[in-house]
Amino acid sequence: MRPYLAAAIQMTSKPDLDKNLIEAEELIDLAVRQGAELVGLPENFAFLGKEEDKLAQAADIATKTRKFLKTMAQRFQITILGGGFPVPVEAAPTKAYNTALLVDPNGAEIASYQKVHLFDVDVPDGNTYRESSTVMAGKDLPSIYSSPKLGNVGLSICYDVRFPELYRHLADKGADVMFVPAAFTAFTGKDHWQVLLQARAIENTCYVIAPAQTGNHYERRYTHGHAMIIDPWGVILADAGDRPGVAVAEINPERLYQVRQQMPSLQHRVFV
């Protein structure tokens, strides 16, 4: 592993697949122009609309999104994360997996993860979310992608960030970098987004890359924004604010080593 630049992309995705992919390409280009070699797109980057509409278009979204990610990776010679898009479940026509996919510069799919924790919540702002109505929960913990250039990269998606055992699993597998692509609600995000991301970084002494959705997507669906990159000490290295854009920061192995030497908490665990 060597020092390199990573980017967390921030979007305001709509219920329009083709338009979203055009916007994503523009932001990927912006990140690459700033030197990013590892780029993350947020959850629902290809389509953010009503659950029933997403399910109806899931096959088309999945096909076009996979092709898009491979094309972007090859064109820009980057490793790219598609942070969450629907992939139809053959055995259950009324469900899709919320899938994160990591693609290397050759266009090869090198890691994937199906979201395990589904967001079924009555938010105090009056919005109700029932992700499980159209999404099939994954059954497997995410694996680690090991790269001599990028380090050990672990995947997760949005609501997972509230479940620290998933990230401890990634840490046990040797993670240096943890992705948390999200479409975090505006109401919960203002209080919980940043502190949860910092906690996951600090307790696991890892970098956290958190691409995000921001603004109004349709009707009353608002997301928090603030795509971030956080270092293993919990320092916010980059924050995209509340508008579409990119957060770019360095992933540095010397910083990882320094923090892990200064605070070797993972070595001091009693209950494992």
Active site residues: 43, 115, 158
Q: Closest Cα to residue 86, out of 120, 123, 35, 52?
A: 52
Cα–Cα–Cα angle for 14, 54, 189, nearest 5°?
55
Alpha-carbon distance values, 164 to 16, 60, 202, 204 (Å): 33, 33, 11, 9
Task: Give the number of C-alpha atoms closer than 13 A to the C-alpha of residue 26, restricted to the C-beta side.
Answer: 11
Q: Which amino acid would we find at residue 100?
A: A
- Provide the 3-class DSSP secondary structure of residue 14: coil
Helix %, strand %, coil % of the chain (to 5):
35, 35, 30
